[in-house]
Every structure is written in C-alpha cells, then in structure tokens.
A and B are shown apart, each in its own frame.
Chain A
Amino acid sequence: MAARKSVKKTNVSAEELTEHYRSMLLIRRFEEKAGQLYGMGLIGGFCHLYIGQEAVVVGLEAAAEEGDKRLTSYRDHGHMLACGMDAGGVMAELTGRTGGLSKGKGGSMHMFSKEKNFYGGHGIVGAQVPIGAGLAFADKYNGNGRVSFTYFGDGASNQGQVYETFNMAALWQLPVIFVIENNQYAMGTSQQRSSVTPDIYTRGEAFGIPGEAVDGMSVLAVKEAGDRAVAHCRSGKGPYILEVKTYRYRGHSMSDPAKYRTREEVQKMREERDPIEQVRTLLLDHKYATEDDLKAIDKEIKAVVNEAADYARNSPEPALEELWTDIYA
C-alpha cells in the first residue's frame, strides 16, 4: 500500500512524526484486536471501531495541552488511547471485566477518565455536544484557560441540540472546539442522503462561529488546524468548528455488513489515503526512520496490544456486589 500522492516536504521533527505514527498504529492495532475479541465472543453488545479515522484524534491530541478536556460519541476507543488512557483498562472494559476503566459497568460506549480529562464515551448521538460546551462553561467560569475538544459525527450534526449548543457557545464565548468527524456515513446513511449542505463546518456561520474543513486523513493537516482552533479558543474568542473529513474502513458497528457502499470505495480510500501509510512514507522519505526502525515500533505496539488483550481476558468479572455500587455518590 502506498500513499505517495500527498507526500510533500515537512518541517515536522522526526520525533513528532514518529510519535504520530506510534499513536495511530496503537489505535489501529488495538481496534483490530478488539474486532478479533468480538468475533470470539469476548466483547459483547455494540462495538464501534475507529479504524481509518486515527489521524483525527492523534492530530488534535497533538494540539492539546495538559488540562484540556475531551469527550466524544460511542466510537471512543481511539480517543481514549490518544489521550493516554491505559490500553489494558480500555480493553478490559470492552470485555466487561473488573479491570476495565469503568469496572466493567460502562462498556465500549461509556468510558471515562477523570485523570486524563476524558469525559466519555456517550451512547446517545449528539448528547455529548452540549456536555462538551458545559465543560468549557466550567473552564470559563474558573478562568483556567483550558479548552474542551467536543467530538461528534456527521450524523450527530443533524441533531437539534447541536445548534442549541452552537448558539449558547457563541453567545457566552465558550472555549470549545467542535470537532465534526465526518466519516461520510451516519450508520448506513450517506451524508448526501441525510444532509442538504455538503460542508457541515459552514453551519456555524449563522452563529458567527468560524469553521474550516480539514483533510482528516492527514495527521499533519489535522494538527495544524487544531493549533489554529486552540489558539482561537484559548485567546477568549469563543468556539471554533473543525469539520474533519475522514473515513471509517469498518462497518458502523461489528454487526454492520456495510452494504451501503462498495468494496471498491473502501479499498480505494485504504490504498490512496490511509493516514498511517502517509506518515510511514514521510518518515521513510525524510530518512527520519528506517524500515527496521518502523518494524521495531510495529513490534512494540503489537506487544502493548497483546498485553492489553491478555489483561482483558484474564481480569475477573466484576464482583456481584458491584451491581449496587456507584449509583449514588
């Protein structure tokens, strides 16, 4: 697989680029493993994989600073790994075990980390959008200079509460970055069949919220746009919209046969635009890394993921008393 098309000169350091590579590869391998465990019956229920979209969250995490907050929808594994949550803890939550980040009580769609400022993991399409603005409200209230990355999809962008939130976020100048991960399909409904306007980022115009479209298959493009958005929010100018055009390779969830698009469409994207291949090529072309270096990273990531899977399989199921805990603080 080659992605030579979008390769160009970069002034990004070897270290930074390698880190992007490592982070994206971790998400990819983790998700592949999750798919495998799902097939084995170790993961139940809904499981939404992030494969193909890795550059979005990795690029934006690179633009974030310590203390910034983030939250997203149910397609959340990548976001958790990218903000540094433990792969074993995430995987053990997927298997519903006591070592999971929510002690096995949340599942794939409902995970949180106070330590990493990750506020979910939300299973109701669009519900995280006002909540993300609420986190920004708290930050503004406390005057701490933090920003809140609020991720949602092209599907969620048709929910009414998104526009209620745009209005209030602009009215109150909240430091929130609305990241629309446009992977082109809301479950099985393509954007053309669900949205009258092709460019979702323009929907902030009515509220005076600046927005831009970003190549979501390029981690560097995402990082650059993220820097602009963060600078805008942190300087007190209010919300910002990034519509990151991306693509998910897998079905909406594990049980989706993805009949609404052709195999060729997916294949073409994988071959020509793959975010990980793009960075791999850059690393090699700039002689930032050798094939051997990258192989070593691949091996290292594989080990992390295998360890996470082992942990997730061996961690015990939650104690039966856990049914009755954490209902009230």
Chain B
Amino acid sequence: MATEILMPALSPTMEEGTLAKWLVKEGDTVKSGDVMAEIETDKATMEFEAVDEGVIGKILIAEGTEAVKVNTAIAILLEDGEALDATPVAAAPSVAASPAPAARATVSSPESPVAAAAEQTPDWPEGTELVQTTVRVALRDAMAEEMRADENVFLMGEEVAEYEGAYKISQGLLDEFGAKRVIDTPITEHGFTGIAVGAAFGGLKPIVEFMTFNFAMQAMDQIINSAAKTLYMSGGQMGAPMVFRGANGAASRVGAQHSQCFAAWYMQIPGLKVVTPYSASDAKGLLKSAIRDPNPVIFLENEMLYGRAFDVPKLDDFTVPFGKAKICRTGTDVTIVSFSIGMQYALEAADKLAEDGISAEVIDLRTLRPMDLPTVIKSVMKTNRLVTVEEGWPQGSVGSYIASEVMQQAFDYLDAPIITCTGKDVPMPYAANLEKLALITTDEVIAAVKQVTYR
C-alpha cells in the first residue's frame, strides 16, 4: 500500500520548514535509515531519513519550497512493484512523535498602528520604515550592532560559535567577529558563568548565552552572589557589566526540567536588571540597552517567540529604555498586564473581549526590574480592574507582586479583586493534553476579565 511521507517536525517547536533538497528521486528504492532529504528548520538544516522500505513513487513538494507545514505530505512511497495510482494513500508516521502546536500563528502585533497608544511616547519616530523581522534575527542584529560598536563586547556559551546557536540566535556572528569574540564553551554553566563574571570585573562586557535558562540554575551562585552583589559589596568600586540571555519559560513538549519561567526568581534580586521582551522590536531595542547597561542584566527570551515576525524600525541605532512599559492597546473596562509570551494571551483575549463589548487596556511591562508600576497604576485608576497574565507558577509570581503594589497604591480605585492568571502549580507534564492544561490560556484570561468586570 502506498504511504505518504510527511513533513517531519524536527524540533519541539517546529511548525514549518524549508524542503531544502531532495536526495532521492522518483523511482529510487529506499530502505530504513537512507537519507531522503535535507530539511531546514528555524534552527538548523537536518537530514531526513526514511523509516520504511519502498520506492519513491512521487515527490509532492519540490526542493527549495519554503514554509512547508509539519505533517504536509511531501512524497509518496510505494511498496516494491506497486503502481502509483493503486490503493488509497495512508499517512506514514511522522518522525517526531506529535505535530508541533499550530494554533500560535495569528496574533495581532502590538506594533500595529491601531494598537499604538496615543498618550505614550512612541518607541520610534513617526514615518520610520518598518521591516518585518523575527525575534531571532532581531536578537542577532542587536548583538552584532553592539559588537561592532564596542570591542569589549563578546559572546560566550554552549554552541554559540561554530553551531551558530542551538536556537540559531548567533547565526553569522562567528564569521563576522571571529573566535576571539564568539566563544564556544564546554557544557559547564557554573564554571563559564564564573569566568564571564571575572571577565566583567576585568573590564570586558560579556554576553553569556544560556542555551535555556533551566541550565542557569547550575550557575545561580555566580549570577546572584558574584554578579549582582559585587557593586554593593565593593562600595561602588567594581561591578559586573554583563548580559545573561537565553530561552526562558515553556517550550513545547520538553517536560518538567526544561519548561519553567524564572522571571519571578530573578526579579527578586537587587543588583540585577530583568528584561522580558515580547516583540521583535523590543527584543532588539532592549538587548542593545542591556549590552550597554553597566549592570548585570537577565534577558529572558522565549523559544516559542523566536520564529515570530514583528515590525522592527529601520534605524541606525534603535534602543528601548528599561523601566518603560508599553501600552499595546488602549481600553477603558479592564487593565491586562503581562510580559514576554504572556502578551500573546493578553492580546488574543483583548481581541475576543472586544467582540463582547469589553474594552481591555493591555500593558506590556517589557522589563520587570526596573518595573514601570506607575504606568500600571495610572491605567488601573482609569479602568478600576486588573488582570495579570504570566506563564510562571502562582506562588510568589510576578502578578502577585503587582497585585500587592496596586492594592497598596491604588486600593480606592479598585472595583474588583485583582486576578493573577498564571501557569498551574505543577511541574510541567509531558503529555500533550496535560501540558496544555498546565499552561495559561487565552480562555482563562477572558474568564478572569469577565469575572473582574462582573460580566
């Protein structure tokens, strides 16, 4: 029986890819393990092997085709001696265990002109040319620009140089800046973080990439006891001007040890700055500010956002200052505050709530330390209702801090208890249905808003 060969998901977050090259042609016999094609994901070019024996009956997707969705049929495999138009085609098992989540694509960009808040100073001058850029490329561009501008800036981490980044964030940097400034480390977070702190004490400006922030727990002592506190302990004589960056939060189907948000942890530490961009323009502008900042900066990226494109202004030197929240959508009935990937749920919820006649003001904090509480409080004084949204755990969450501050500073303005929407209080499960249940959803945000607006 003929089977369809499907576009495989070759990483936990892959939704589509480029069919770069066919290494077999119609009529070729393949057996299990033969390399059939090269597929370019958002992170790497991967070889795609045959699972079953058979003859390539037909190639359905030509090589060079971009944006081929996972699970699209790309070829038909026939049993030996079978003709092409024989029996109905059955789907072959895809290489990856399950398709990547697909329902993440349609989000209104916070930079869309409709959403831009009138009362805020815009991040770039009116009329600036905007270029659709992925978060991934925006981060790379930010590092490249700052490395061109300052010889003391260098990048170190696992797979940042020759591999060009486990998530392809450092693509092209080794070529441009050489091995002196783009440094592959052994897998030794505690050690290389300490070395980077020492290099910062010694006058350099390291960017430390953690493949994901889960691994930064190995280096927590150096980040907090050495990097964050030395300026204070030295009476202002020396500190650690450096950036710790990498993917934070849940990716997709990678289980408990690789799926967690550290925003609330780092946000607690005096001496650190904590940055949590959502859009590509913020990723770029804030990373450039982080590299220039004379303090240790925790820069929390999100793997689910790396491949997403947003408008980024075409400017020679575009930066976004710390401590300035962005009102992404103005509204009158409720304030929704979020950051990083939480913005996706906040904005989706606001869109749907608008259909029900509820006008939500959506604020992206962008940086958690410093945190722009005045913008939040000003908004709450207008809407009298607040919902916070984040992916992290509930106890000691970012939202619980905001709720406590708003309660103390704007108690008389509140018409309903604040609701803090968070991930569930469980280690991240692996099973697809349970993982979905553990994460915050747009529907939960909508329900929270309806609760505080008594609708």
Which positions in A face B, CB cutoff 8 Å? 69, 100-106, 110-114, 119-124, 127, 129-139, 141-142, 160-161, 164-165, 167-168, 171, 325-329
Docked complex Cα distance between A101 and B238 (Å): 12
Number of A-B residue pairs at CB separation under 8 A: 142
- CB-based contact A160/B231 at 8 Å: no
- CB-based contact B200/A134 at 8 Å: yes
Interface-facing stretch out of B121-129, B182-190, B308-316, B403-411: B182-190
Partner of A161 from the list B190, B202, B225, B270 (CB cut-off 8 Å) is B190
Chain B: which residue is nearest A134 at the CB level?
Answer: B198
Q: Mind listing 23 A-B residue pairs with CB under 8 Å?
A: A100-B235, A102-B233, A104-B235, A112-B233, A112-B238, A113-B237, A120-B230, A124-B226, A127-B221, A131-B226, A133-B194, A134-B200, A134-B202, A160-B190, A161-B190, A164-B192, A165-B194, A168-B195, A327-B231, A327-B232, A327-B271, A328-B271, A329-B236
The smallest beta-carbon distance between B207 and chain A, in angstroms, is 14
B195: A residues at CB distance < 8 A:
130-131, 133-134, 137, 165, 168
Q: Which residues in chain B, 168-190, are within 8 Å of chain A measured between CB atoms?
A: 180, 185-186, 188, 190
B188: A residues at CB distance < 8 A:
164, 167-168
- CB-based contact A164/B190 at 8 Å: yes
Docked complex Cα distance between A120 and B232 (Å): 12
Partner of B222 from the list A100, A130, A136, A167 (CB cut-off 8 Å) is A130
Docked complex Cα distance between A168 and B199 (Å): 13
- CB-based contact B295/A130 at 8 Å: no
Question: With A135-B199, A137-B202, A168-B186 in contact, do A127 and B230 touch (Cβ < 8 Å)?
Answer: no
Which positions in B face A, CB cutoff 8 Å? 154, 180, 185-186, 188, 190-204, 221-222, 225-226, 230-239, 241, 270-271, 273, 294-295
- CB-based contact B222/A127 at 8 Å: yes
- CB-based contact A138/B233 at 8 Å: no
A136: B residues at CB distance < 8 A:
198
A122: B residues at CB distance < 8 A:
226
Partner of B194 from the list A130, A142, A329 (CB cut-off 8 Å) is A130
Query: Is chain A's binding surface mostly helix, strand, loop or mixed?
Result: mixed
Chain A: which residue is nearest B271 at the CB level?
Answer: A327
- CB-based contact B234/A327 at 8 Å: no
B200: A residues at CB distance < 8 A:
134
A112: B residues at CB distance < 8 A:
230, 233-235, 237-238
- CB-based contact A114/B271 at 8 Å: no
- CB-based contact B186/A171 at 8 Å: yes
Chain A: which residue is nearest B189 at the CB level?
Answer: A164
Chain A: which residue is nearest B236 at the CB level?
Answer: A326
Docked complex Cα distance between A123 and B188 (Å): 22
Docked complex Cα distance between A101 and B185 (Å): 35
- CB-based contact A165/B232 at 8 Å: no
Question: With A138-B202, A168-B185 in contact, do A131 and B234 touch (Cβ < 8 Å)?
Answer: no
Closest 3 CB pairs of A and B: A134-B198, A130-B194, A164-B191
Chain A: which residue is nearest B185 at the CB level?
Answer: A168
Q: Name the residue in B185, B194, B199, B226 with the highest tally of chain A Cβ atoms < 10 Å from its Cβ.
A: B194
The smallest beta-carbon distance between B238 and chain A, in angstroms, is 5
- CB-based contact A161/B194 at 8 Å: yes
Docked complex Cα distance between A137 and B201 (Å): 11
Chain B: which residue is nearest A110 at the CB level?
Answer: B233
A130: B residues at CB distance < 8 A:
190-195, 197-198, 222
- CB-based contact A168/B226 at 8 Å: no
Docked complex Cα distance between A138 and B200 (Å): 8
B271: A residues at CB distance < 8 A:
327-328
Chain A: which residue is nearest B201 at the CB level?
Answer: A119
Partner of A135 from the list B154, B198, B225, B294 (CB cut-off 8 Å) is B198
The smallest beta-carbon distance between B444 and chain A, in angstroms, is 36
Q: Name the residue in B194, B195, B204, B270 with the highest tally of chain A Cβ atoms < 10 Å from its Cβ.
A: B195
Docked complex Cα distance between A325 and B237 (Å): 12
The smallest beta-carbon distance between A206 and chain B, in angstroms, is 14
